[in-house]
């Protein structure tokens, strides 16, 4: 069983998804932010489950829209294990630095968007190192750096579903264009392009993205994201530092318009009011500055 759980972040449907699997006991991939805990509990209850029934949580990465609820879940279920890339494990145990970084991006809106972030006790954390064994027989970890260096995708071997987190970008509808999420400070465009080339060998029947849904057109979307990343990198590289703010705002406006043509003005506005495309421009700018 694989089920998409719409967490309805801030009341918006189709923004952040978590995924419920039975392998064979129930586990979650990316439980979402702490602000969605009530909805997560409700989605589990609709399926006859509670947090105490979960065996494990698998994180693609530790950005708060993906893993911010993990500490809360462990506080409700002390037998829950949290599986995460070894480089991210220290930030799961002590999220203070992560929270400070997130606050720099989201400012005063941070607590309203993401809520309280609780640490996960080290005894509940199961770090995975690339090349190491799979923690579960049916769920295979795949290193997918780019969006952030510790990004991991999880492949459900039996059902052929690849849980991508942000590694395949933002896809808000089957007709919508892929948006490359490149927020500061961890994006690495070159590593991401290498990831997109490498994951071709897995050729999953379906793939799941946190923003938002489960899709079947893996190869087409993989190519589309690669092209979108290259286009954004070229565009930021060509822009002048003096005009950077204006160019970022132009990119924001164009992104919203492209998405709104498919998903509607209201949903596009509310989604990008949280996940600003201008922040993705800034992340790519920082990446290029570091290269220089």
Q: Tell me the β-bridge partners of 29.
A: 19, 58
* pLDDT at residue 24 in the model: 86
C-alpha dihedral over 206, 182, 244, 256, to 10 degrees?
A: 40
* pLDDT at residue 292 in the model: 85
| Inter-residue contact 274 to 15 (CB < 8 Å) | yes
> Edge-to-edge strands of the sheet including 161-165?
139-143, 152-156, 161-165, 206-209, 213-215
* This prediction's pTM: 0.96
* pLDDT at residue 183 in the model: 95
Phi, psi of 220 (to 5 degrees): -65, -40
* pLDDT at residue 61 in the model: 98
Domains and CATH numbers, the chain: 2-291 (3.60.15.10)
Q: Distance between terminal CA atoms of the chain?
A: 47
Residues in the chain: 292
Low-confidence stretches of the chain (pLDDT beneath 50): none
| Cα-to-chain-centroid distance, residue 262 | 22
* pLDDT at residue 267 in the model: 98
Instruction: Give CA separation, 205 vs 166, 209, 212, 215, 218, in Å.
Output: 18, 14, 17, 9, 8
Q: Tell me the β-bridge partners of 82.
A: 57, 125
pLDDT in tens, 42-55: 999 999 999 999 99
* pLDDT at residue 139 in the model: 93
């Amino acid at each position: 069983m694989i089920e998409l759980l719409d967490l309805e972040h801030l009341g918006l449907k189709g923004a952040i998804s978590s995924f419920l699997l039975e392998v064979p006991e129930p586990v979650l991939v990316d439980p979402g932010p702490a602000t969605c805990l009530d909805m997560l509990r409700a989605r589990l209850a609709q399926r006859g489950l509670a947090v105490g029934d979960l065996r494990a949580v698998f994180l693609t990465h530790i950005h708060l829209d993906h893993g911010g609820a993990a500490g809360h879940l462990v506080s409700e279920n002390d037998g829950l294990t949290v599986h995460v890339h070894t480089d991210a494990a220290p930030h799961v145990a002590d999220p203070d630095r992560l929270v400070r970084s997130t606050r720099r991006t989201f400012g005063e809106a941070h607590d309203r968007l993401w809520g309280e972030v609780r640490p996960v006790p080290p005894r509940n954390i199961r770090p995975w190192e690339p090349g190491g064994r799979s923690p579960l027989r049916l769920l295979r970890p795949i290193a997918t750096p780019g969006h952030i260096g510790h990004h991991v995708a999880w492949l459900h071997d039996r059902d052929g579903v690849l849980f991508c987190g942000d590694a395949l970008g933002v896809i808000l509808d089957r007709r919508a264009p892929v948006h490359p999420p490149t927020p500061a400070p961890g994006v690495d465009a070159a590593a991401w392009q290498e990831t997109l080339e490498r994951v071709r060998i897995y050729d999953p029947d379906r793939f799941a993205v946190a923003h938002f849904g489960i899709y079947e057109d893996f190869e087409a979307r993989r190519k589309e994201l690669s092209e979108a990343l290259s286009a954004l990198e070229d565009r930021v590289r060509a822009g002048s530092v003096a005009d950077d703010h204006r160019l970022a705002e132009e990119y924001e406006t164009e992104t919203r318009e492209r998405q709104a043509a498919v998903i509607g003005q209201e949903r596009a506005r509310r989604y990008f009011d949280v996940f600003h495309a201008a922040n993705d421009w800034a992340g790519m700018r920082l990446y290029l500055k570091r290269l220089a």
